[in-house]
Chains A and B, each alone.
Chain A
Amino acid sequence: MVKEDIRSIPLIYKLLAGLLFLLAAFVIAMLFGAAETTLSDVWMAITSFATGDKISLIRDLRLPREIAAIFVGSALAIAGAVMQGMTRNPLADPGLLGLTAGAQAALAIALALLPTAHYFALMLACMIGAAVGAILVFGISAITRGGFSALRIVLAGVAVSSLLYAIAEGVGLAFKISKDVSMWTAGGLIGTTWGQLQVIVPCIVGGILLSLLLSKQLTILSLSEEVAVGLGQKTTRIKILLFLVIILLTGASVALIGNMTFVGLMVPHIVRAIVGTDYRSIIPMSALVGASFMLMADTLGRTLNAPYETPIAAIIAIMGLPFFLFVVRRGGRILS
Chain B
Amino acid sequence: MIQPAVIRKQRLILSLLLLLTAVTIGIGMGIGYSSLSYDRLIPTLFGQGTFKEEFVLFSVRLPRMVVTLMAGMALALSGAILQGITRNALADPGIVGINAGAGVAIALFFLFFPVKADSFVYALPLVAFLGALLTACLIYFFSYSKKTGLHPNRLILTGIGFSMALSGLMIVLISSAERTKVDFIAKWLAGTIWGSDWPFIWALLPWLAILIPFALYKSHTLNLLTLHEPVAIGIGVSVEKERIILLVTAVALAASAVSVTGGVAFIGLMAPHIAKALVGPRNQLLIPVAILLGGWLLLFADTVGRQLAAPDGIPAGIMVALIGAPYFIRLLLQKK
Residues of A within 8 A of B (CB): 91, 95-96, 140-141, 143-146, 150-152, 154-156, 158-160, 162-163, 165-167, 169-170, 173-174, 176, 186, 261-262, 305, 308-311, 313-318, 320-321, 324-325, 328-329, 332, 335-336
CB neighbours of B322 from chain A (8 A): 163, 166-167, 170
Chain A residue nearest to B334 (CB atoms) is A144
A166 → chain B closest CB, angstroms: 4
CB neighbours of A159 from chain B (8 A): 325, 328-329, 332
Give the 7 A-B residue pairs with the shortest CB-CB distance, closest first: A317-B168, A163-B325, A321-B165, A166-B321, A324-B161, A314-B171, A314-B168
Bound CA–CA A62/B145 (angstroms): 47
CB neighbours of B61 from chain A (8 A): none
B157 touches A154 (CB 8 A): yes
B164 touches A321 (CB 8 A): yes
Give the interface SS of chain B, mostly helix, strand, loop or mixed: helix
- Is B90 located at the chain interface by the 8 A CB criterion? yes
Give the interface SS of chain A, mostly helix, strand, loop or mixed: helix
How big is chain B's contact interface, by range?
A: 35 or more
Bound CA–CA A160/B175 (angstroms): 27
Residues of B within 8 A of A (CB): 90, 95, 142-143, 145, 148, 151, 153-154, 156-158, 160-162, 164-165, 167-172, 175-176, 190, 265-266, 308-309, 312, 314-315, 318, 321-322, 324-326, 328-329, 332-333, 335-336
Choice from A160, A173, A186 contacting B312 with Cβ under 8 Å = A173
CB neighbours of A176 from chain B (8 A): 309
A261 touches B332 (CB 8 A): no
Bound CA–CA A326/B196 (angstroms): 41
Known contacts A145-B336, A173-B312; decide if A320 and B165 are in contact (CB<8 Å): yes
Bound CA–CA A158/B328 (angstroms): 10
Known contacts A169-B190, A174-B308, A317-B164; decide if A332 and B157 are in contact (CB<8 Å): no
A314 touches B161 (CB 8 A): no
B47 → chain A closest CB, angstroms: 36
Bound CA–CA A166/B153 (angstroms): 25
CB neighbours of A314 from chain B (8 A): 168-172, 175
